[in-house]
Structure 1
C-alpha cells in the first residue's frame, strides 16, 4: 500500500500564487496524499479560493491559524499537529512539485525507510532564464556547511518522517527569518547522520525565491533572528557534545556583515558581536578587534562597502 504523505503549506495573502502550488499537488502521479493549507489570517481572497479547492477535493484541507504567534512557522506547526501522514513535506505557498515528485521520493526511500528524513535536489526559478538546478555536493555530513551558512536546499526538498519532525518539536515559531536552516541544523544534530541526501537525483521541485531588496526591514528581521538563532544553535551543539563546531557559525556573522550591517543601528551591531563572542564563536581577540575596527571605521566615516570588507577580513584570521 502507498503510505500517506502530508503536504503542509502556510500562506498569507498569496491567493494570486497558491493556486499553482496546489495544482502541482493535485496533479501528482502519486495518489495517497493530503494537503493541509494553514492560513495566517489572510486579508485577500485566500479563504474563498481554498474553500473552492477543498469543496472539490476532500484531500485538500483549509485551516486557519487561531493562536499566536503569527508567522509561517506557527502555521507549519499547526499543520504538523493535524497531519495524518506517515511522511510530510513542507512547502511555501509559491513552491511547485513536479508531477512525479512524491511518487519518486517514496520509491527512492523504499530501501531506506529507517531514516529520519531524506533530501532531494531542486530547481530555482530565476524568472530570467531556464530553471537552474541547484547542485548538492556529495558529503558524508552536511552539518558543518549549514553551520557555515552554506545552504544547499530549501524547505520543500525534505521528505520528513512525521514522528521524527514532531519529536524535535517542528519549527521555531519566534524567528522572523532563518527558520529553514535552523530546523535542518537541529535535525542533523539530533538525527546523528540517520538521514539521506540524494545528491545525484534529478530535481523534483521548483523553488521561487522572493527577490526582496535588502533594506531596513529585512536587515532588522535578520538581526532579530540571529539574536535567537546563535544562542539556540550554540546550546544545541554544546548539549550534544559538539562544541568544536561552534566557530563554524562565524559564517552567519560574515553574511550579516555583507548584507545587513549598514541597515542596522550601531547599538544593534555591537550587541550582535557580543552574542557571537559570548557563545564562544568568536575568540576574545576576534571580538575585540572587530569591536575596535567597527568604531574606528565609523569615526573615520569610511564607506559602508569598505567597512564590511575590512571586518570580514578580520574574521578570516
Structure 2
C-alpha cells in the first residue's frame, strides 16, 4: 500500500504548479503518489501535467471538466487516494524536502489515537515593508500566552479562537480513512474550510504537531469581506455549542472573528463597517502592525470615500461638541 498520497488542487496556476509538484516529488520518503486535481483550468495546466505524467509515474492527474472550487478538488483527491495517509499541498506553495518524513516520524512514536499531524509554515510577505511587518509581529507575539498545539479536545478551543492554524491546505498529514470518514472539506465554505476540516478530523482522533517551518506559503488573494463574514457566521454557528463552552473557559473566539472581519473591511477601505467589527474585537500587540497595514491598504484603495467618511465624522463630532457646549452654557447659572 502506498504510504502517502499528496493531493494538489490547482486552477490556472501553470506557472507555480511545477514548483509545488517538484517539492512533493523531492520528499525524502520514496513511497508516495502525487494526485494533481486540475479544477477546470483554461491555461497551460494540461500541458504541464502531461509532461509530468510522462516523466514520472508517481504523478496522477485528475481533471474536473468545470471549475468546482479548491474544496471540491481536495475531496476528489481524497477519493482517488491510494495511500495510508493523505497530505494536501496548495499549487502555489512549496514543501521542505523532509516535510513528510518529519511528520511520519512524529506519528510513529504515538498510539493509534493520533490520526494526523501538522507543522508550521513560513509566510513571507514581499518587499521591505512586508519583512518589517513580519519581524515586528513576531517580536510582539512573544508576549502572548503559548497556546496548546496538539491533542484532541483541548485543541478545539485553540483552533476556534484562531490561536493555532493547522492549515490543512498545505501543512496537514492525516490518515486517508479518517479524512474520508470526516467527510472531506466543506464545499460550501469560501473561508475557514481548513480549520473546519481539522475540527471534524478531531472527532476521530488527535492531531500531533511538528515545531518546524516545513512549508513555504505564497501570499494569495482574499475573497470579499462580505463573503468572509458570511463564512464566519456559518462556521461559528455550526460549532455554537463548542464556541459557548470554550468562551466560558476564557477563549476569545467571536472577538477574534470580529478582528478578522474588521481587518478585511479595513483593507477594502470600508471604514465604518470595519469600525463596527473592531469595537468588539480581540486585539493584542502582535495584531497592531497588521491592522496598520490593512488600514493603509484601504486608504490607498478608496482614498476619496474614506476622506469623505472622515470628514463627515469630524464634522459630526464638531457639531455635537458645539451643541453640547451651547447647552452647558445655557444651563450654567448667571
- The TM-score normalised by the length of structure 1 is 0.71
- For 1:237 and 1:30, how far apart are their aligned partners in 2? 39
Cα distance in structure 2, aligned partners of 1:12 and 1:251:
31
- The answer (yes or no) to whether the contact 2:17–2:91 under 8 Å persists in 1 is yes
Aligned to 2:96: 98
CA contact (8 A) 2:147 2:158 kept: no
Give the number of the structure whose alpha-carbon radius of gyration is greater. 2
Aligned with 1:196 (options 202, 208, 221): 208
- Residues 247-278 of structure 1 show CA distances to partners (whole Å, capped at 9, x for unaligned) of 62331123212322785999x99xx9xxxxxx
Partner of 1:145: 158
Counterpart residue number, 1:110: 108
Unaligned runs of 5+ in 1: 273-297, 304-317
1:53 and 2:52 correspond: yes
Aligned-residue offset at 1:128: 4.0
* Counterparts in 2 of 1:226 and 1:18: CA distance versus 1, 3 Å: same
Moved more, 17-26 or 108-117: 108-117
In the other structure, the counterpart of 1:311 is none
Instruction: Using the TM superposition, give the Cα deviation of residue 152 of structure 1 relative to its aligned residue in structure 2, in angstroms.
Output: 3.7
Q: Kindly indicate whether the alpha-carbon contact (under 8 Å) linking 1:219 and 1:264 is maintained by their aligned counterparts in 2.
A: no
- 2:181 aligned with 1:167, yes or no? yes
Residue 258 of structure 2: aligned partner: 253
- Structural RMSD (CA): 3.7
| Distance of aligned partners of 1:157 and 1:137 in 2 relative to their CA distance in 1, 3 Å threshold | farther
SS in structure 2 at match of 1:206: strand
Instruction: State the secondary structure of the residue aligned to 1:121.
Output: strand
CA distance in 1, matches of 2:267, 2:119: 36
Secondary structure of the corresponding residue to residue 228 of structure 1: helix
Higher deviation after alignment, 173-182 or 102-111: 102-111
Any conservation in 1 of the 2:106–2:208 contact (CA below 8 Å)? no
Partners of 1:94 and 1:113 lie apart in 2 by 34
Count of matched residue positions in the alignment of Structure 1 and Structure 2: 267
Change (3 A) 1:255 1:47: same
- The match for 1:295 is none
Q: Offset of 1:208 from its aligned partner? A: 1.6
300, 306, 313: which one aligns with 1:302: 313
